[in-house]
Amino acid sequence: MTVTDPTGEDSYRTSAQASTMYSDSNHPKRGRRNRSTELQSLLDEASKYNSHYEYDMPRGFLRDRSVKEDIRQEEIERPRESFVPRKKSKSSRSNKNDANYKTKRDSLTETSGGSVKSLGSQKRSRKARSGKRNANNPQNGIGALTPMTLSSQDVEGSDATATYLDDSRVRNQEKQTGEKSTFANWSAIAGNVQFDILDLEYVRSHSLFEGTPTSSTVLTTRRREKSPQVVTVKLQSVLFENYQEEYDICFTRDLNIYNPMSEIGKIVEYMAAIFLPSYYAAKVQNEVIPFMNKAFDEENIQSFVQLVERYNQIVLSIKRQEIVDHLSTVKRIPTIFIHDFLHIVYTRSIFPQYRRLRQYEAFSNYVYGELLPGFLTEAFSKCQLNPNKIFMDLGSGVGNCVVQAALECGCNLSFGCEIMPNASDLSEAQYGELIQRCKLFGLKLPSIEYSLRQSFIGNKRVDELIPVCDVLLINNFLFDSKMNLQVEKLIQNAKVGCKIITLKNLRASGYTINFYNLDSVLNRLRVERFDLKEDSVSWTHSGGEYYISTVMETMDESLFDPSLRQRSTRKPTRYTR
């Protein structure tokens, strides 16, 4: 990643301005006035991004001149006839997925001996919005809403993912080589849930489901009213014979926000890979999943509905005791299943009221933004979060990080604190839906606790948990200097070994030890910087950086070595006219 330094764009501007000053020296009348203006401009630019003056910004906001130069050079070298106006698509996202759609279309044609007809441009546009994943486009976290670009790191990690697939029951699923496509993105996240998440005791003691989770049709009411082509289908629960969830099947509407067909396909694949006994899992994988993929690709509603009914018949033919006995042998649950499961919870609880999250003061400490599941999985792994540890999220929003830490890592306690009323309301809604869905899928729900409609500053419960917290998450991306000072005071009592995840360094650039901060916890932090991949946060597609700071018993030795700080620690002089 690029770091802004004096040799970049600012130095270029400096040399240009200096040459202007020199040329003006030949004109005494205007030279004196221009030299004064140019000097003031140079001095302002020199201190613009210095941390001492509180202008330090995350690198996601800083311009990358080299990238722009490359783009400009490509435009110069591109032939003139290539600049042909292109008809604007109905969806801004469809163009991003055209290449993936073409790959999938070509592969379908090859596997069927050319019997599949080429789809039209209108169908391609709808297909690009469908939310289904192609094997050549692994995505970070829940990719149904945000398209992602394949990075070099994803390519490098593909071999490890393939090894994982060969090592589990998912090996019965066709591996993603580009010739086949599936609803679940098996190659996105490698790894397993870190604790025994299946609640066999609850499954054995409850043969009927008594909960009331929010139905999928709540999200498609308007779609059903406006489109006569909509067909409502019921998907049978594997664990409870008396429960079926309704879905509205329709390929003609914009599926950018919510795609019920993609969700059905994922659930069917996860049930076959994890929940169904081997014999019945093979039947679903052979008789349902390949043809459901084809029906989805061809947008064939009738065929898709028939395949859902066929899946229901297979599930209802299984004796419940066989399912329970099989689940007792399951030892590993893929992490990607948790991501998609939490996405189901999120769509039911947050989507209907998402406009409430827009009610905040722009560029304040209370701006709402979400950290996406793929990034959280990576950060949790680096912090070695496990069932024996306590996780805290200060500024937890709607609770996404809290529930993911609980289900993915099985924390001893997953705690969240949120001050904004609307986000607090949605946290409660999501937690209620999570309880219902965990029972429906037979999953354990580890301990979760919230402190809602309260600040984490001066919060009695937060002060009690900080000394025993193992992993602390603080999204300080837009915190001002006053809030950062409060955070510093708050973590003063953090225990040795506590890991703090932040998007900006808790220690400002050029930080030094002096007489006034000898006892500060910042002196005992070992700070590690990591690259933030693209599509890791909700407010920008671009990557950036994040930090994991570990509280140590003694002072960080890097503070005594200026060469390790990478910047001069001398406070720059502020010149005036």
Q: Determine if residue 393 is labeled as part of a ligand binding site.
A: yes
- Closest of 126, 58, 103 to residue 536, by C-alpha: 58
Q: Determine if residue 118 is labeled as part of a ligand binding site.
A: no
How far is C-alpha 102 from the chain's CA centre? 26
Mean pLDDT of 243-258: 85
Residue 351 lies in a domain: no
Residue 275 lies in a domain: yes
Residues 177 and 286 in one domain: yes
Residues 475 and 519 in one domain: yes
User: Which CATH number characterizes residue 438's domain?
Assistant: 3.40.50.150
- Closest of 500, 501, 410 to residue 448, by C-alpha: 410
Residue 311 lies in a domain: yes
Q: Determine if residue 45 is labeled as part of a ligand binding site.
A: no
Q: What's the rounded Cα separation, in Å, for the pair 341 and 270?
A: 10
Residues 366 and 475 in one domain: yes
The residue out of 77, 98, 125 marking a domain boundary is: 77
Q: Determine if residue 371 is labeled as part of a ligand binding site.
A: yes
Q: What's the rounded Cα separation, in Å, for the pair 565 and 94?
A: 44
The residue out of 77, 102, 124 marking a domain boundary is: 77
Residue 91 lies in a domain: no
Contact yes or no for 462/472 (Cβ under 8 A): no
Q: Residue 68 is part of which domain span?
A: 9-77
- Which residue matches tokens 């010149």? 575
Q: Determine if residue 397 is labeled as part of a ligand binding site.
A: yes
User: Which stretch of 9-23, 257-271, 392-406, 432-446 has the lowest confidence by average pLDDT?
Assistant: 9-23
Residues 327 and 364 in one domain: no
Residue 152: predicted pLDDT: 36
Residue 319 lies in a domain: yes
Residue 340 lies in a domain: no
Contact yes or no for 132/265 (Cβ under 8 A): yes
| Residue-wise DSSP of 243-294 | -EEEEEE-SSS--SS--HHHHHHHHHHHIIIIIS-HHHHHHHHHHTHHHHHH
Q: What's the rounded Cα separation, in Å, for the pair 413 and 298?
A: 46
Residue 351: predicted pLDDT: 86
Q: Determine if residue 398 is labeled as part of a ligand binding site.
A: yes
Q: Determine if residue 219 is labeled as part of a ligand binding site.
A: no
Over the stretch 29-63, which tens digit does the pLDDT of each residue have? 555 556 566 656 655 554 443 433 343 444 443 43
Number of structural domains found in the chain: 3
Predicted confidence band at 292 (pLDDT cuts at 50, 70, 90)? very high
Residue 113 lies in a domain: no
- Closest of 556, 380, 562, 508 to residue 58, by C-alpha: 508
Residues 257 and 329 in one domain: yes
* Percentage of the chain lying above the pLDDT 70 cut: 64
Q: Determine if residue 518 is labeled as part of a ligand binding site.
A: no
Q: Determine if residue 400 is labeled as part of a ligand binding site.
A: yes
User: Which CATH number characterizes residue 171's domain?
Assistant: 1.10.260.170
The residue out of 28, 52, 77 marking a domain boundary is: 77
Residue 365 lies in a domain: yes
Helix (H, G, I), strand (E, B) or coil at 375: helix
For the ranges 84-93, 185-194, 424-433, the one whose mean pLDDT is highest = 424-433
Q: Determine if residue 424 is labeled as part of a ligand binding site.
A: no
